[in-house]
Amino acid sequence: MSQIEQLETEILAAIGKVDDLAALEQIRVLALGKKGSVSALMKGLGQLPPDERKSFGQQVNGVKQALNKALGDKKTALADKALAQRLATETADISLPVRIGPLAQGRIHPISQCMDEINEIFADMGFAIAEGPDIEDDFHNFTALNIPADHPARQEQDTFYFPKRADGSRLVLRTHTSPVQIRTMQAQKPPIRIIAPGRVYRCDSDQTHTPMFHQVEGLVIDSETHMGHLKWVLEEFLKAFFEVDEVQMRFRANHFPFTEPSMEVDIRYERSGNEVRIGTGDQWMEILGCGMVHPNVLKAVGYDPEQLQGFAFGVGIDRLSMLKYGMPDLRDFFAADLKWLRHYGFGVLDVPTLAGGLGA
């Protein structure tokens, strides 16, 4: 047996015996790798007399092919065997409960949950969700909303101002979500039906005020809209949000620069022990501001108040969620306290739907 044949026999025998993929790969490298035994044979080619080189070369290539085939076959066989073993041993009991992992431990913040609930309720009534920037200019946050430069409402709102720009103007952290009304009317043609949930900022902090909080703005613009529509929308919203059959409301005259007439809405509630029941009862609680969009606001975005009219409302989301889920202090919402979040937070998969229950 020639040296080459002997080498081939040895390697084939080793391939035959090997039992796992890693060992098989090792054999391949030792034989056919750059420094492998078969590759080394080729290096001797130069020393052979010229008439022997061709047949020697062919012989070595033949060995290479045979080894490659044997390696490939063995690899397939080993992989098949491994798969068969896995299939025989791995079974899944699909009746087992889901294991508690990091995903199941995460919590959705009650504010996010309430925003999802609010979006779901209004989407069902045909409202789209609109957004605007947290950093606003004077025009959108104030002027276009019928709050001119000398208006007292500018002081009332405890605005966070940015430093003056070269032209003397100052950007602000938006003090309410109402500027999204303006941006939406500038960008879209009526009819308009939107809500705009988001963060707002005022320089204020105590048990029921934080410098950053959340509002949802509502705006409907059409050729014929009236306070009956406004009342119905608010009533349906409050009933759905608090998941009760009845919410008795009271519209109280008030003043907002951007609406005329303007109203605050109170709803009935009742306290029994630590529980607050919303909707009926002997007490009134103020819950939101609303009104018919002021003609000056329509003019500011280039609408004709003779042709178009509408209503708007603004609700504090943080307070809604305190009322619904019973947290006593607003500041805890933003303290990033894991214990609080575990208690008041929602499961990742508790997505609120009208059909499945909002506060699931």
Q: Residue numbers of the site for ligand DAH (CB under 6 A)?
A: 176, 178, 217, 256, 259, 289-291, 312-314
Q: Which is nearer to ligand DAH, 25 or 260 (CB)?
A: 260
We find the least distance from the C-beta atom of residue 227 to ligand DAH, in angstroms, to be: 12
Spatial separation of the C-alpha atoms in residues 333 and 89, rounded to whole Å:
49
Residues shown for the chain:
360
By beta-carbon proximity to ligand DAH, the closer residue of 113 and 178 is: 178
Concatenated DSSP letters of 299-321: HHTT--TTT-EEEEEEEEHHHHH
Contacts of 285 (CB under 8 A, 6+ apart): 266, 267, 268, 269, 323
Q: How far is CA 263 from the centre of its chain?
A: 34
Query: Of 70 and 195, which CB lies nearer to ligand DAH in the complex structure?
Result: 195
Q: Which residues contact 207 (CB under 8 A, 6 or more apart)?
A: 328, 329, 330, 331
Provide the angle, in degrees to the nearest 10, between the axes of the packed helices 50-89 and 3-17. Answer: 0
CA separation, residue 291 to residues 240, 254, 267, 283, 311 (Å): 21, 9, 16, 23, 6
Q: Closest separation between CB of residue 105 and ligand DAH, Å? A: 36
Q: Closest residue (Cβ) to ligand DAH? A: 314
Q: CA-CA distance, 172 to 313, in Å (whole number)?
A: 22
- Residue number, 164 or 255, with CB nearest to ligand DAH: 255
Nearest distance in Å: CB 122, ligand DAH: 14
Query: Whole-number minimum distance, CB 291 to ligand DAH, in Å?
Result: 5
Residue placing its CB nearer to ligand DAH in the complex, 279 or 314: 314
Q: Which of 206, 150, 144 is nearest to 176 (CA)?
A: 144
In three-state form (DSSP H/G/I as H, E/B as E, the rest C), the secondary structure along 27-57 is: HHHHHHCCCCHHHHHHHHHHHCCHHHHHHHH
Q: Least distance in Å: CB of 359 to ligand DAH? A: 25
Residue 178 near residue 314, CB atoms below 8 Å? yes
**Looking at beta carbons only, is 110 or 316 nearer to ligand DAH?**
316
Q: How far is the CB of 206 from ligand DAH (least distance, A)?
A: 17
Name the nearest CA neighbour of 252 among 220, 283, 285: 285
Smallest distance, ligand DAH to C-beta of residue 194, A:
11
Based on CB atoms, which residue is closest to ligand DAH, 178 or 352? Answer: 178
Instruction: For the CB of residue 297, give the shortest distance to ligand DAH in the complex, in Å.
Output: 10
The least CB distance from residue 344 to ligand DAH, in Å, is 25
Longest alpha-carbon distance in the chain: 114
Per the CB < 8 A criterion, the answer to whether 131 and 194 are in contact is no
Per-residue CA distances from 109 to 8, 12, 135, 252, 324 (Å):
68, 64, 23, 33, 14
The nearer residue to ligand DAH, 127 or 313, going by C-beta atoms, is 313
Please give the Cα distance from 309 to 297 (Å, whole number): 10
Which one, 241 or 313, has the nearer CB to ligand DAH?
A: 313
